[in-house]
């Protein structure tokens, strides 16, 4: 057994009992490289391992592709190095194990301490060849596509249609809303049940409006994973509150002391006079309801002897009371119960439609793996699981991985699982990822013998910057004993593995002063400080702006920054900030569609006229609506006529055809193309056209229904993958800290430091010690305010937000390669990143003007204050071509729009009637033609009729009508003519080339007569002039083809033979 | 019999020359000496092309047929014309069969579809159901014998039901043809197969045994073709040409950012080839699989470049007017005659006795807040207006129509006007005929099954063009000079086909049924055929779908040269359809918008002065001048959506609350109001609330009575708490409610003060009329009160907002009261009373007229001058501040609200007053 060097030079454990592995990789320490190394080690050890038995779970599609590519690249690098060594070997002594003097082969190639070292080149070459051959089978995928493959192979057990479709984005919100309305209708109108209606009433009492209830339920349904857990208590009235409540009541009734505070006096009077001996939660709420306003106003400082009970009755701050706590709890219980029922109803509807959404993929996989038999077969499918970005795992994903990583006896299988992550980068709280799950799962793995590996070689930041980062975060993430409810990972110092320093700087952290006289202009102050700083620090090179990145935590305040950057002529690259349905192009298109769909909506007509599709001025609109004389009213009339023409087209066009007609006849693409940010408009127009197409294919709704649905849906854009940055453009990068995950930039600039994201809206979370579920941010459960230890558990939500804010600060700062700029406004609230900066640097002082470097606890820090040079406010560029913009700035050009040509050619009612008449006895008509085609004109038609009736599944009535008809036709002269002639072919395929195109046709019947051949074509229905012309032309082409083939003349005949007609038309 | 291996190009060449050779000197119309069996239309067209090169005048009667077509002819010649069950019959039969077997598996959704797919695999393997049940009984090691047994039971019931329709399975026809094939069958040439199903092979083997196969050509010797080659070997004498060298085409790969760029550039390059003379038939576009939207984009971009492809698009039947009308009609009764669906039916052309104007009915039913219901439920609306009467008659007719729907008549109920309408009607007839045929075991009309059948139909759309475009499987055998292989993405090439859950591969091996495998080799073959089929192959792929989703390059491109970046076209190159002048006008909108231009509400002096202005109208102007222009000059009104308003409409609820409070305070006027509220007063308050709710219900019966009752009980609690806090406030303020719904101005029939309140602004007399909710009075002091629903956040900091001009109504009422009651402005105040007490202190909702009067007049001066000069800029605001857009009728399509730059330029003025006053922005 030859020794194989592991990472630390200590010999790796012998091959079979490899341990599970928890790799903690700080920011910039090459997390992906660590995973690739582990997979390589595995492949080198086990050449028999089939790649499809290795699963790599990543967070994004891009990461999945990247890891697979890097593994293949590494294998190829190693195999080419081995072949070089191989040739050396063949020259010297073959087959001997290598001695130490020879140069070792390791990966990553050329790195001072390679993660993987080749022990036995011969065996390595064989296993690399095997793995390279089937590398495509490697299952590198997101956890969602992994779950999808599980569900598709166990559809019956998962209760799913194996061809299930994934519904997301616009379509998902459409489905959720329609199902919500159907569920509400069933629960209240169709099958009202008292107990259910009472819950609706309780929640209505709390929320006040139905649409508020809808928002609460749809928001809460995002925490389906928690709502599924039944063993968490939302706080119990009897245990946590009732005893104190009864004591307070008894105390006030027994102690007849009076209180100076009028509200407390009114409460005391009521409690003493109104008999009540306690009871259920509802009973208490009804009993306390009349004195609710007074309870809220109690000022317990003036309650004298009754201070203690009164303090309890007015629990919480002024304006709150024990009544609100109880009513809030009741509303919380109602909300949770309603949401659970909604989710059950929703699952039923999805089941019927055979659709799932991304959450279902995880939840249903977790559920199907409860079935022991399925779990066994799923486990048998692969031997190794690698999980990337493990700090972003949520409870459901953790449960799935936990099940797959264990054996039937519930023990973790050694060597099967490798998880990689950095708890300090867990910033997706809003997407259910909770670091407590990371801590619990990694502790479980390590208690079961997993090895812990910490990567601390950082390849991103210059050494001086890394020193400062280490100093900052050793203070912000101190080593402290573990709090089960709020996980605060300790900081591990990183080593700068980058030898060369990219830029010589006096300090790597700059505090940039930003303060404006008028307090409301704080964002302007920050924007001008940043713009001025960039202007002074760009080196003028062709790509000198690319190294700057401004990372925000909210994009809603962006306008001041963008406006300032434009005024300083500093270009920027920006991800989408709002729902694309709120942008220019989709709003314009839907406005015009609405005007087409709703003729009686005058607002819609006016809005459509004001879009670039028609570009009427408001003067023309007002004149058109005959409110102000003077300006020409006929422009409005021409516009109304154009809309009416589109409305006619909409009768016979599909939604997609109508939109295509609109786009081509109004040239809107040329208009957007000429606009300054035309590319973005065109991309949005394409997206809304794709949406309309999907809507039509899946829902088949009319233009009206599409306009109604899309106006309702303002779907927020999913987080765009950061890869879409345009590398070529020389521009400052602007994005959220979340979007910057996994990216790196030269200089990171952090504005809006004091912003502290609050939970925002209803929040549901669980706490482990004590084991409680807490509902806060909307109606609050008792557990939120009355934790068993007495302290309110809702403060844990705030503590977790604070902890996540620090981790967000860590992610933001560690994006930097050379330096970090913190935009500091001394007057700002001491919250968010601002608070973190104060803990590190205390209250900083700034020079009047310029940059001053001072030594601080975290190393050299620059304190800079810049006098903002007032740039002139440059007029925004509207068109790409400045020259054309100048031309068009003058007099308004007269309107010259045109109405579109009609789209569909309508058939005359007579033509429609003729075809439909044929349709009535379609079956009989076809049967008659089939018989005539095959009948030689003499033999008894009965057997042929019966045989062909079976083929056409014609019913008895059709058969008898054809039989009667045949008797008549038998005597028809044309039939005799066919009978006498020699039949050459029935359904004869003919192929010929017609103006360059190869044509294939079938001739019903070809007969040969003394003076030439005759092509016969059977036609149903009566000979309508419109149709005869076209049919005649068609048969003429067949005759030309036949005579070309035979060299003999060939005539044609159209036989309009049906149940009523028998007309022959010569060709 | 000779077996030759050759690439498709050579196969077509050899088969054609053999056929042409056999034709020499024969009567051109006589039957051909040999017939050809081909795997796809592509191979047939390749052979026909080569044949026509040799016989340019054309050929008649040559048979280039599939095995299924040959089988059909063999049976027809023997007088047998069995009917193969159509898709709908098979689906209905399998669903009925599933219902007849009691096994837990049969409940799960989609099991019928799974059973159909598995049954298809069994029969295509040439295995009959009796073979299968015999083998299953003997087989050891099936994954779940009980489940397999239940499956076989379901299939035998399925076959019984199909037989009852005297129809057969396609595999039966092949088996019967194999039995009938014999010496009299014309000699066949087998061209281009590398694999076939078991059922197909049974027919081929019969032909081989009868010596009716003259020659076989195979396109490849790759491993996956070996099973087929070995099966033929015993009958053939193999003539092996030099190894099939797949001619090396010139290959290039290009990478695009999005699928739009890719398909647009491919069409541009095809157009360029067509322009310099390459014939359309020499160009092809192929992809592993083409989604419906790929076809839509290809045909759209092709049309822009002036050519068309053979890829026929389809539109699902329910998306077509006739299909949609049929679906809506079928569902109408069960969904309770919803208003929107009734009107959709009229607009989609349902033939009706009651002639109606759908738009007029739409507007009327919205105003009457009718969400739906039967004519009986709507009887309360009878006699109110003609459109409502028409609507009720329409619903009555629909009730009659849908009482018993006859599927056969469905297509006759809908107006037909175009060829596509006729095609749609024919599809509905075919569905009706199938349901009629299956009545024998499919009793009763199952509406959802019919709707499902309609959803599975589609109509061809658009004409077929010249340049071939299609999927890889249908591509076999074709060859081109230029072939564009598009959408070379990993997700378009499925990695691993999942196992059949009913018959896993392990069971299939035991039962002799074809395994699913992972289809990887076949993919490799299809791609090698692409290389063989064209002189120049252009691969292309996109790295993203243009909407943020990352796409990965297909692994088959690894052997290609490094991809080069494809060129990017933004807007299409076409000539503008409208005149250049109109294009300039459209661009002028972009250039001038947001610069106080005629596009921005600056319309110049109005001819007629507005007759009289109500405080609410002036407040609208204060929030957003353009909203005032739209609502009060151009007469734009809100469009209601009754379906979405289960609660009473917010305007009606406001009126109801006001009426209750007015009646309560009028009743309580005599007594001194003090706390605690007497039981008698509390009872009266609840009584007024009940009466108002009943009055409203009588006028417009609630669609959802349960929700209405919840609303009623909540209103009682809210108004009771409101009255208690109001009385407390009155006691502390020493005021008593004196006047209720105080009307002033000529527009009222019974005004409390006939004359409007006139004030001079911008040299013009402004007549102000309106209604004041309540006027409290006490020792010479007056207070105007305005109730607001909810917490009235838009009215917080009222006094500041009056100064800013975004709140005017109450201040104007206060001025009117000061004049009408000759009260000193210092003694006149005003307050908003939110019905729901939020955490905002009451004083934040109040103001004293004295402090506000001066700025108010200044504001009015500014506003009136702006109105007269026709200055109506839009001022979007959506914060809690005053949120002008929330109740604006055009907030879904207002240009300024949705244009970031226009919006930002305006919002920097903080409110319309500063905008109009023209103080320059920072
Ligand atoms: S949507 Fe807003 S900005 Fe536009 S007109 Fe209405 S209120 Fe004014």
Measure B814 CA to nearest chain A CA, in Å: 30
B627 C-beta closer than 6 A to ligand 1: yes
Q: Judge whether B492 is closer than 8 Å to chain A, CB to CB.
A: no
DSSP string covering B669-695: TSSPP-SSPPHHHHHHHHHHHHHHHHH
| Partners of residue A165 on adjacent β-strands | A355
Closest atom of ligand 1 to B623 CA is 7
Q: Profile chain A (1067 residues) by mean pLDDT over runs of 10 residues.
A: 37 58 88 88 84 86 84 86 68 46 69 78 84 82 90 85 82 88 90 92 89 90 87 85 89 85 87 86 90 84 86 80 91 94 93 87 93 90 90 90 91 91 85 83 91 89 92 91 86 86 88 78 87 90 90 85 84 73 90 95 95 93 73 82 93 91 91 86 89 88 90 54 54 89 90 83 85 87 79 84 91 93 89 92 88 91 81 67 87 86 79 75 81 83 86 83 85 84 88 83 89 86 77 88 86 83 78
B626 C-beta closer than 6 A to ligand 1: yes
Of the CA atoms within 13 Å of residue B356, those in its CB half-sphere come to 31
Measure A217 CA to nearest chain B CA, in Å: 17
Token duo for residue A31: 């997390």
Q: Search chain B and give the residue with CA nearest A878.
A: B591
Q: Judge whether A673 is closer than 8 Å to chain B, CB to CB.
A: yes
**CB proximity under 8 Å: B 348-377 to A:** 348-349, 359-360, 362-363
Q: Decide if B95 contacts B112 (C-beta within 8 A).
A: yes
CA angle B188, B189, B190 (to 5 degrees): 115
DSSP code at position A159? T
pTM of the predicted protein model: 0.88
Q: Whose CA is nearest to atom 7 of ligand 1?
A: B885
Rounded distance, CA B220 to CA B222, Å?
A: 6
Mutate to test the interface with A, among B548, B580, B606 (most CBs of A within 10 A): B548
Q: Judge whether A190 is closer than 8 Å to chain B, CB to CB.
A: no
Closest atom of ligand 1 to B894 CA is 4
- Separation of B625 CA from ligand 1 center, angstroms? 8
Interface contact A670-B641, CB threshold 8 A: no
- Closest to A418 in 3D by CA, of A394, A441, A399: A441
B282 C-beta closer than 6 A to ligand 1: no
Rounded distance, CA B59 to CA A343, Å?
A: 66
Sheet strands (E) in A662-791: 732-736, 745-750, 763-767, 772-776
Q: Whose CA is nearest to atom 5 of ligand 1?
A: B627
- Closest to A389 in 3D by CA, of A362, A426, A363: A426
- Closest to B675 in 3D by CA, of A249, A314, A293: A293
Q: Decide if A730 contacts A548 (C-beta within 8 A).
A: no
Closest atom of ligand 1 to B878 CA is 2
Sign of the dihedral through C-alpha A85, A91, A93, A94: positive
**CB proximity under 8 Å: A 100-119 to B:** none
**How much is the pLDDT for B573?**
56
Q: Decide if B183 contacts B82 (C-beta within 8 A).
A: no
Token duo for residue B578: 């409208």
B877 C-beta closer than 6 A to ligand 1: no
**CB proximity under 8 Å: B 402-421 to A:** 411-412, 416-421
Interface contact B591-A991, CB threshold 8 A: no
Rounded distance, CA A627 to CA A621, Å?
A: 9
Q: Judge whether B280 is closer than 8 Å to chain A, CB to CB.
A: yes
Three-state SS at A615: coil
Of A162, A208, A893, the CB nearest to B110: A162
Q: Search chain B and give the residue with CA nearest A872.
A: B922
**CB proximity under 8 Å: A 569-628 to B:** 582-584, 587, 590-591, 594, 598-604, 606-608, 610-613, 615, 617-619, 621-622, 625, 627-628
Q: Search chain B and give the residue with CA nearest A674.
A: B587
Rounded distance, CA A436 to CA A482, Å?
A: 11
Three-state SS at A632: coil
Which of B617, B619, B620, B626 has most ligand 1 atoms within 8 Å of its beta carbon, as the pocket-test mutant?
Answer: B626
- Measured from the Cβ of residue A1010, the count of other Cβ atoms closer than 10 Å reads 6
Interface contact A197-B29, CB threshold 8 A: no
Closest atom of ligand 1 to B875 CA is 3
- Closest to B590 in 3D by CA, of A674, A896, A683, A589: A674
DSSP string covering A269-325: HHHHHS-----SHHHHHHHHGGGHHHHHH--GGG-GGGHHHHHHHT-SSTT--HHHH
Of A65, A666, A686, the CB nearest to B546: A686
B629 C-beta closer than 6 A to ligand 1: no
Looking only at the bridges linking them, the beta strands covering B237-239 and B2-5 are: parallel
Q: Profile chain B (922 residues) by mean pLDDT over runs of 10 residues.
A: 84 91 85 91 89 88 93 90 91 91 80 90 91 90 87 94 91 93 92 90 93 89 83 80 64 88 93 91 90 91 90 90 94 90 94 90 92 90 92 95 89 90 92 89 85 92 84 84 89 64 87 78 76 86 76 76 72 64 91 89 79 84 94 90 82 91 86 78 93 91 89 92 89 88 85 86 82 91 92 88 91 92 92 86 90 91 90 88 88 89 82 79 42
Rounded distance, CA B807 to CA A256, Å?
A: 50
**How much is the pLDDT for A719?**
38
Specify the DSSP element, H or E, that contains A21. Answer: strand A21-25
Chain B environment of A904 (Cβ under 8 Å): 417-418, 420
CA angle B899, B904, B905 (to 5 degrees): 105
Q: Search chain A and give the residue with CA nearest B44.
A: A1000
In order of A35, A61, A362, A721, B259, the CA distances from B549 in angstroms are 24, 8, 20, 7, 11
Quote ipTM for the complex.
Answer: 0.92
DSSP code at position A675? B
């Amino acid at each position: 057994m030859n020794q194989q060097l592991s990472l630390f030079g200590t010999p790796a454990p012998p091959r079979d009992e490899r341990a599970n592995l928890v790799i903690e990789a700080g920011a910039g320490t090459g997390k992906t490289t660590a995973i690739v190394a582990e997979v390589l080690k595995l492949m080198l050890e086990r050449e028999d391992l089939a790649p499809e038995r290795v699963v790599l779970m990543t967070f994004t599609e891009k990461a999945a592709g990247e890891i697979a590519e890097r593994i293949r690249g590494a294998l190829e690098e190693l195999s080419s190095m081995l072949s070089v060594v191989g040739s050396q070997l063949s020259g010297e002594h073959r087959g001997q194990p290598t001695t130490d003097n020879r140069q070792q082969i390791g990966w990553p190639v050329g790195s001072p301490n390679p993660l993987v070292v080749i022990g036995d080149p011969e065996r390595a070459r064989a296993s690399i060849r095997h793995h390279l051959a089937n590398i495509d089978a490697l299952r590198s995928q997101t956890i969602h596509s992994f779950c999808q493959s599980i569900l598709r192979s166990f559809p019956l057990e998962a209760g799913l249609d194996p061809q299930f479709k994934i519904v997301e984005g616009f379509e998902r919100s459409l489905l959720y809303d329609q199902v919500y309305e159907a569920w509400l209708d069933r629960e209240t109108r169709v099958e009202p049940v008292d107990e259910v209606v009472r819950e609706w009433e309780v929640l209505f009492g709390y929320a006040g409006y139905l649409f508020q209830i809808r928002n609460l339920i749809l928001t809460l349904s995002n925490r389906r994973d928690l709502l599924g857990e039944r063993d968490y208590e939302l706080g119990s009235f009897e245990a946590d509150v009732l005893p104190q409540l009864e004591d307070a009541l008894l105390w006030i009734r027994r102690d007849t002391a009076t209180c100076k505070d009028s509200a407390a006096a009114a409460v005391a009077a009521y409690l003493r006079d109104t008999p009540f001996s306690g009871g259920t939660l509802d009973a208490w709420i009804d009993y306390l309801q009349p004195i609710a306003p007074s309870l809220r106003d109690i000022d317990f400082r003036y309650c004298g002897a009754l201070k203690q009970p009164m303090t309890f009755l007015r629990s919480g701050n002024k304006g709150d009371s024990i009544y609100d706590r109880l009513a809030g709890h009741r509303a919380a219980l109602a909300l949770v119960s309603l949401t659970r029922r909604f989710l059950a109803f929703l699952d039923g509807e999805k089941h019927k439609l055979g659709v799932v959404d991304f959450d279902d993929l995880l939840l249903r996989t977790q559920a199907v793996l409860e079935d022991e038999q399925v779990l066994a077969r799923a486990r048998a499918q692969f031997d190794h699981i690698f999980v990337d970005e493990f700090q972003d795992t949520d409870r459901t994903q953790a449960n799935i991985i936990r099940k797959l990583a264990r054996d039937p006896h519930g023990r973790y299988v050694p060597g099967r699982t490798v998880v990689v992550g950095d708890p300090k980068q867990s910033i997706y709280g809003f997407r259910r990822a909770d670091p407590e799950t990371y801590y619990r799962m990694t502790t479980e793995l390590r208690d079961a013998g997993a090895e812990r590996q910490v990567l601390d070689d950082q390849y991103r930041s210059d050494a001086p910057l890394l020193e400062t980062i280490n100093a900052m975060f050793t203070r912000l993430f101190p080593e402290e004993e573990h709090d089960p409810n709020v996980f605060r990972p300790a900081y591990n110092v990183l080593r700068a593995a980058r030898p060369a320093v990219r830029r010589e700087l006096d300090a790597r952290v700059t505090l940039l002063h930003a303060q404006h006289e008028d307090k409301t202009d704080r964002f302007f102050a920050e924007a001008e400080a940043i713009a001025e700083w960039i202007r002074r620090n760009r080196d003028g090179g062709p790509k000198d702006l690319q190294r700057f990145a401004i990372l925000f935590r909210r994009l809603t305040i962006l306008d001041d920054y963008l406006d300032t950057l434009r005024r300083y002529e500093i270009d920027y690259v920006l991800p989408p900030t709002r729902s694309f349905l709120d942008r220019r192009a989709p709003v314009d298109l839907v406005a015009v569609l609405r005007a087409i769909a709703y003729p009686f909506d005058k607002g819609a007509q006016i809005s459509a006229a004001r879009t670039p599709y028609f570009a009427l001025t408001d003067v023309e609109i007002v004149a058109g609506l005959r409110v102000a004389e003077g300006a020409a009213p006929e422009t409005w009339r021409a516009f109304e006529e154009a809309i009416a023409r589109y409305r006619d087209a909409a009768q016979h066009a599909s939604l997609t055809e109508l939109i295509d007609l609109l786009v081509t006849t109004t040239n809107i693409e040329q208009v957007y193309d000429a606009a300054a940010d035309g590319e973005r408009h065109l991309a949005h127009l394409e997206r809304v056209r794709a949406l309309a197409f999907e809507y039509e294919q899946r829902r088949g709704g009319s233009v009206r229904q599409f306009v109604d649905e899309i106006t309702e849906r303002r779907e927020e854009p999913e987080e765009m993958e950061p890869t879409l940055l345009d590398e070529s453009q020389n521009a400052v990068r602007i994005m959220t800290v979340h979007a910057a995950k996994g990216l790196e930039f030269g200089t990171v600039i952090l504005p809006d430091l004091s912003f502290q994201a609050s939970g925002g809206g209803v929040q549901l979370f669980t706490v482990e010690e004590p084991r409680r579920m807490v509902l806060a941010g909307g109606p609050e459960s008792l557990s939120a305010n009355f934790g068993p230890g007495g302290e309110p558990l809702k403060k844990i939500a705030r503590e977790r937000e604070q902890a996540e804010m620090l981790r967000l600060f860590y992610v933001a700062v560690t994006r930097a390669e050379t330096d970090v700029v913190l935009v500091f406004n001394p007057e700002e609230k001491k919250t968010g990143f601002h608070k973190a900066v104060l803990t590190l640097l205390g209250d900083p002082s700034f020079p009047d003007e310029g940059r001053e470097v001072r030594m601080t606890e975290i190393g050299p820090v620059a304190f800079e204050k810049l006098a903002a040079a007032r740039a002139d406010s440059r007029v925004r560029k509207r068109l790409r071509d400045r020259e054309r913009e100048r031309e068009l700035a003058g007099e308004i050009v007269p309107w010259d729009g045109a109405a579109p040509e009609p789209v569909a050619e309508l058939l005359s009612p007579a033509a429609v009637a003729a075809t439909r008449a044929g349709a009535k006895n379609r079956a009989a008509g076809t049967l008659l033609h089939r018989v005539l085609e095959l009948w030689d004109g003499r033999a008894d038609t009965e057997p042929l009729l019966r045989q062909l009736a079976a083929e056409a599944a014609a019913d008895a009535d059709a058969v008898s009508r054809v039989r009667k008809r045949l008797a008549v036709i038998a005597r028809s002269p044309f039939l005799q003519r066919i009978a006498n002639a020699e039949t050459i072919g029935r359904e004869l395929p003919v192929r010929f080339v017609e103006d360059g195109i190869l044509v294939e046709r079938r001739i019903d019947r070809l007969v040969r007569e003394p003076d030439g051949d005759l092509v016969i074509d059977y036609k149903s229905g009566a000979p309508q002039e419109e149709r005869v012309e076209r049919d005649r032309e068609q048969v003429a082409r067949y005759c030309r083809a036949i005579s070309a083939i035979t060299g003999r003349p060939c005539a044609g005949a159209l036989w309009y033979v049906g149940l009523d007609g028998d007309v022959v038309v010569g060709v | 019999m000779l077996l030759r291996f050759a690439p498709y190009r050579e196969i077509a060449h050899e088969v054609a020359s053999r056929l042409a050779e056999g034709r020499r000197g024969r009567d051109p119309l006589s039957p051909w000496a040999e017939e050809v069996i081909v795997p796809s239309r592509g191979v047939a067209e390749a052979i026909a092309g080569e044949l026509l090169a040799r016989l340019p005048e054309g050929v008649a009667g040559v048979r280039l047929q599939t095995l299924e077509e040959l089988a059909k002819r063999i049976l027809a010649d023997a007088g047998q014309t069995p009917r193969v069950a159509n898709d709908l019959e098979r689906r209905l039969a399998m669903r009925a069969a599933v219902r007849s077997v009691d096994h837990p598996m049969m409940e799960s959704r989609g099991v019928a579809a799974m059973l159909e797919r598995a049954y298809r695999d069994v029969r295509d393997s040439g295995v009959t159901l009796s073979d299968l049940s015999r083998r299953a009984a003997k087989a050891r090691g099936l994954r779940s014998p009980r489940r397999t047994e239940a499956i076989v039971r379901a299939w035998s019931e399925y076959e019984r039901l199909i037989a009852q329709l005297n129809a057969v399975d396609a595999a039966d026809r092949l088996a019967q043809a194999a039995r009938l094939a014999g010496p009299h069958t014309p000699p066949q040439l087998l061209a281009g197969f590398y694999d076939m199903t078991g059922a197909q092979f049974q027919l081929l083997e019969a032909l081989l045994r009868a010596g009716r196969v003259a020659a076989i050509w195979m396109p490849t010797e790759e491993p996956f073709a070996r099973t087929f080659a070995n099966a033929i070997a015993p009958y053939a004498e193999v003539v092996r040409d030099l190894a099939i060298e797949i001619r090396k085409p010139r290959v290039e790969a290009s990478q695009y950012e999005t699928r739009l760029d890719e398909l647009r550039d491919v069409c541009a390059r095809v157009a360029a080839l067509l322009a310099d003379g390459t014939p359309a038939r020499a160009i092809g576009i192929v992809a592993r699989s083409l989604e419906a939207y790929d076809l839509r984009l290809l045909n759209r971009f092709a049309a822009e470049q002036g050519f068309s492809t053979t890829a026929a698009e389809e539109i699902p039947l329910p998306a077509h007017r006739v299909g949609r009308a049929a679906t809506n009609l079928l569902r109408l009764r069960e969904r309770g005659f919803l208003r929107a669906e009734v009107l959709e039916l009229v607009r989609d052309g349902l033939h009706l006795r009651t002639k109606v104007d759908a738009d007029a009915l739409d507007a009327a039913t919205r105003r009457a807040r009718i969400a739906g219901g039967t004519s009986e439920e709507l009887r309360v609306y009878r006699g109110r207006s003609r459109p409502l009467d028409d609507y009720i008659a329409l619903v009555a007719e629909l009730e009659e129509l849908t009482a018993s729907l006859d599927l056969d008549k469905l297509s006759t109920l809908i107006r037909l006007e175009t060829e596509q309408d006729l095609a749609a009607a024919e599809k509905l007839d075919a569905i009706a005929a199938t349901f009629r045929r299956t009545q024998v075991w499919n009793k009763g009309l199952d509406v959802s099954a019919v709707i499902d059948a309609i959803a599975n139909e589609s109509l061809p759309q658009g004409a077929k063009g010249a340049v071939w475009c299609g999927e890889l499987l249908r591509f076999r055998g074709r060859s081109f000079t230029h072939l564009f292989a598009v959408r070379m993405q990993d997700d378009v090439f499925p990695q691993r086909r999942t196992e059949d859950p009913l018959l896993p591969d392990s069971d299939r091996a035991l039962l002799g049924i074809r395994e699913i495998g992972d289809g990887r080799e076949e993919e490799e073959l299809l791609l090698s055929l692409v290389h063989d089929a064209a002189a120049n192959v252009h691969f292309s792929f996109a790295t993203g779908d243009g909407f943020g989703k990352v796409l990965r390059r297909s692994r088959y491109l690894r052997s290609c040269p490094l991809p080069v970046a494809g060129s990017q076209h933004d807007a299409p190159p076409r000539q503008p359809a409208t005149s250049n002048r109109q294009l300039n006008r459209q661009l002028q909108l972009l250039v001038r918008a947001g610069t106080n231009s005629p596009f921005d509400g600056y319309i110049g002096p109005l001819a007629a002065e507005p007759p009289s202005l109500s405080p609410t109208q002036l407040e609208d102007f204060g929030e957003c001048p353009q909203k005032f222009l739209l609502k009060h000059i151009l007469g734009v009104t809100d469009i209601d959506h009754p379906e979405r308003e289960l609660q009473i409409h917010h305007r009606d609820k406001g009126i109801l609350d006001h009426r209750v409070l007015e009646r309560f305070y009028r009743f309580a006027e005599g007594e001194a109001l003090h706390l605690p509220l007497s039981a008698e007063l509390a009872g009266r308050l609840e009584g007024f609330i009940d009466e108002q709710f009943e009055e409203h219900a009588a006028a417009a019966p609630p669609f959802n009575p349960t929700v209405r009752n919840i609303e009623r009980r909540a209103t009682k609690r809210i108004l009771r708490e409101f009255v208690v806090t109001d009385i407390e406030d009155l006691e502390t303020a020493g005021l008593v409610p004196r006047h209720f719904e105080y009307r002033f101005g000529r527009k009222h029939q019974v005004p409390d003060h006939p004359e409007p309140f006139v004030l001079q602004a911008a040299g013009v007399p402004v007549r102000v009329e309106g209604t004041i909710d309540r006027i409290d009075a006490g020792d010479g002091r007056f207070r105007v009160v305005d109730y607001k629903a909810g917490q009235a956040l838009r009215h917080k900091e009222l006094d500041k907002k009056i100064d800013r001009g975004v709140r005017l109504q109450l201040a104007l009422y206060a001025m009117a009261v000061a004049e009408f009651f000759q009260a000193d402005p210092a003694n006149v105040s005003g307050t908003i009373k939110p019905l729901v007490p939020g955490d905002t202190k009451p004083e934040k909702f109040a103001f004293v007229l004295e402090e506000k009067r001066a700025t108010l007049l200044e504001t009015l001066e500014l506003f009136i001058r702006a109105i007269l000069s026709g200055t109506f800029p839009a001022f979007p605001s959506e914060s809690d501040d005053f949120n002008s857009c929330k109740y604006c009728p055009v907030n879904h399509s207002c240009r300024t609200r949705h244009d970031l730059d226009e919006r930002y330029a305006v919002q920097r003025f903080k409110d319309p007053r500063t905008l109009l006053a023209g103080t320059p922005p920072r």
